[in-house]
Amino acid sequence: MKFDTYEVTLEEEGTRISLTVIDTPGFGDGLDNTGCFKQLQDYIEAQFDEVLVEESRIKRNRRYRDHRIHALIYFIAPTGHSLRELDIELIRRLGEYVNILPVVGRADTLTVEELAVFKQNITRDLEYYKLPVYNFCWDDSDSEALEENREIMGLMPFSVVTCDEVLDNEYGSVRVRRYPWGTIEIDDESQCDFALLRYILLNSHIADMINFTEDVLYENYRTRKLEVGGFGEAEDEEENEGAEQEPAASKSQE
């Protein structure tokens, strides 16, 4: 399994997002795939460790770029049955390090009925195995948003179909996949959840996912790491306390 990184800056109406997408070609393709989980975990932890180091510096870099992973889109194969062992293990192991959004890939191979049953089976599996997928309702302070978030949770896993061609029709350009028996418009919400996923990821929930990563996932990691005295430094209690104090001291100076 490799990591292929793509960086792009998105700008729309004054808002700029520096987007990094990491692909993992080879995941699940080998004879023995148990090594993939550790590889992914190490990768995510490496980003956390960088932040940990930077945070604890006496002189911190104001322009420091944070590479922590805010979302993991997990593609479930459209078998129509339920989760495979690989799916269960991945979510179970990585859920505490990253926000996991399960999606049904190539969902256009399933009929409407098949997809509904598949989503139901997966949801039952997620509950039964207590799999830690991203909880849209983690912040229950806003009751209005809570209702909307519950609805979104109900649609998980999100069905996605990827764009193959862009056609021009009387309404403008349409992103489609063309088959001998018909053409599917991927942005049509009645045909798949692609538009919704895009909206969640780049619009409505971008702040939520970043906040959860920083305030909860990263903090938990940091606490675990510092309690164990990690970092490869001497496991001297005083030294660790010093490391914890330092950021606080710097903060009071700002």
Interface with other proteins (CB under 8 A), residue from 172, 182, 232, 248:
182
195 is an interface residue for other proteins by CB under 8 A: no
Q: What is the Cα–Cα distance from 230 to 239, expressed in whole angstroms? A: 12
111 is an interface residue for other proteins by CB under 8 A: yes
Interface with other proteins (CB under 8 A), residue from 177, 199, 243, 250:
177
Interface with other proteins (CB under 8 A), residue from 68, 84, 92, 198:
84
- Kindly state the number of chain residues that form the binding site for other proteins, as judged by CB under 8 A: 41
Bridge partners (DSSP) of residue 11 are 16
Interface with other proteins (CB under 8 A), residue from 33, 41, 211, 250:
33
Q: Give min distance, CB of 103 to other proteins, in A.
A: 13
CB 102 within 8 A of CB 122: yes
Interface with other proteins (CB under 8 A), residue from 14, 141, 181, 252:
181
3-state secondary structure of 71: coil
Bridge partners (DSSP) of residue 220 are none
Question: Cβ of 70: how many Cβ atoms within 10 Å?
Answer: 20
Instruction: Evaluate the CA torsion angle 33, 35, 39, 41 in order and state its sign.
Output: positive
193 is an interface residue for other proteins by CB under 8 A: no
Give how far the C-alpha of residue 92 lies from the chain's centroid of Cα atoms, to the nearest Å. Answer: 14
Residues of this chain, 115-134, that bind other proteins according to CB under 8 A: 121, 124-125, 127-129
Q: What is the Cα–Cα distance from 153 to 73, expressed in whole angstroms? A: 15
3-state secondary structure of 107: helix
Contact residues for other proteins, defined by CB under 8 A: 29-34, 77-82, 84-86, 88-89, 105-106, 108-109, 111-112, 121, 124-125, 127-129, 164, 177-185, 190-191
